[in-house]
Structure 1
């Protein structure tokens, strides 16, 4: 008669911890240019690292897309939108170990009902063009002066650089607000099907820029071109993934999806 066999046992906790450590180290060795914030990823894939470098290159101290509110039917829905946006940002920057960069985020919301209630993307673009032409000086220069005044130093004149903050704007209209608050799952659940989205507006777009490049398409607000000057992007990573991407001059053409498609993975 065979002696009873002992059931397999889990490895001791110390041994399991050591095995996990060896596994993580093997991953890190395969990562080129590991992030100092999170060594399990490269800095090129860490939004906090990317934004930090963007700020350094431009000599800026604050970042973040400007948001235009163009629907005023429900203040409760608007408050919920801002809560969900903030939750997603905090969740992502915790993953990147980048709360220090989140502290430099500037939430700028234009919500003048008399000016923006039901406003078109063209109206928003025109206002944003005027605002951004001087805002980078008043925002970034003032902070440099304040930071330099304590040490007796002086700040140099800042430039607009390639900061996405002054090149693209976010619009939240009635449809976008409903998509985030009522269609998308509530945090902490991830919106894997891109049900919640906002409009990302290209400040430099003008009608006729892509004229003649393709056959006319079904008009969107009177624009029959492929590029209508704005696109839908997932709200949950608009301030992380899309902010970092929008620094590249090629980003718009590479990632653009004509509405009603929503940009981002999984691609349509």
Structure 2
């Protein structure tokens, strides 16, 4: 099945609430990014590069979506639920076995082709605030077979506050704006380092254009990227 053009997902305009400015709110920066970008969705595109097991893939997607919804409810932000948009990107012919750098190029093509007809209000190319503020248009997720196999979720009921989801696994988020030369120049000018980094998948440097994260914190990765209006923040 090919779904390189995401299914239509057109949430209603976001209606701010009095609690949105709470400095302790987990989703405060996500809300700010939606309002500033004039595009009321949050969630990454999720690129599938392994096609051996559809059930594992669906499980991976379910874990991301279900735990996000649980956190939204726990934070009493139910009005955010219609705006969640973790979008699966599947195309066996194009994406199977693709590297992270290759997925970045597919993602850039998707950004270039954005439109309100495809992506909803605020997604047109004339909206200069979109890529400045929305992580959905700055980074994407990359998922291989190992990540699918390692993704687990269960409900535990011995924690304070009642039953909660317990999630295991990892993911990769790819910086759609990555430029290897520019990053290397920035790093050397700031630190004066050159060869003191381990090689990672053929690349050596402070920022290799992607990073691992624990699957349990996927919404926090998105939240973190909302805090910077200009660019990716490397760990």
State whether TM-score is above 0.5: yes
- Counterpart mapping for 1:67-106 below 5 A: 67-106=46-85
1:22 aligned residue: none
Query: SS at the partner of 1:135?
Result: coil
- Counterpart mapping for 1:56-67 below 5 A: 56-67=35-46
Query: Considering only aligned residues, what root-mean-square deviation do their CA atoms show, in Å?
Result: 2.8
- Post-superposition Cα deviations, 1:208-266, rounded to whole Å, max 9, x if no partner, equal 3225433243322210212111001121221x21112102338844x51xxxxxxxxxx
> 2 CA distance for matches of 1:228 and 1:144?
31
1:158 aligned residue: 127
Query: SS at the partner of 1:101?
Result: helix
> 1 CA distance for matches of 2:141 and 2:68?
15
- Counterpart mapping for 1:1-268 below 5 A: 36-37=18-19, 43-135=22-114, 137-139=116-118, 142-143=120-121, 157-159=126-128, 160=130, 161-181=132-152, 186-187=154-155, 188-191=164-167, 195-208=168-181, 209-210=183-184, 212=188, 213-238=193-218, 240-249=219-228, 252-253=232-233, 256=235
> 2 CA distance for matches of 1:176 and 1:244?
22
> 1 CA distance for matches of 2:103 and 2:82?
27
Query: SS at the partner of 1:227?
Result: coil
Residue 158 (structure 1) shift: 2.8
- Structure 2: where are the runs of 5+ without partners? 1-16, 156-163
Query: SS at the partner of 1:45?
Result: coil
Paired positions, count: 201
> 2 CA distance for matches of 1:210 and 1:45?
35
Q: Could you say which structure has the greater relative contact order, defined with CA pairs below 8 angstroms and 6 or more residues apart?
A: 2
- Post-superposition Cα deviations, 1:74-97, rounded to whole Å, max 9, x if no partner, equal 111111112211221111001111
Query: SS at the partner of 1:171?
Result: strand
Name whichever structure is richer in strand by fraction. Answer: 2
Range with greater deviation from structure 2 (118-127 or 172-181): 172-181
Residue 37 (structure 1) shift: 4.2
> 2 CA distance for matches of 1:107 and 1:138?
18
> 1 CA distance for matches of 2:204 and 2:58?
35
Residue 53 (structure 1) shift: 2.2
Shift of the 56–189 alpha-carbon distance from structure 1 to 2, 3 Å rule, reads: closer
- Structure 1: where are the runs of 5+ without partners? 1-34, 146-154, 257-268
User: With structure 1 as the length reference, what TM-score do the two structures score?
Assistant: 0.66
Are the aligned partners of 1:70 and 1:119 in contact in 2 as well (CA < 8 Å)?
yes
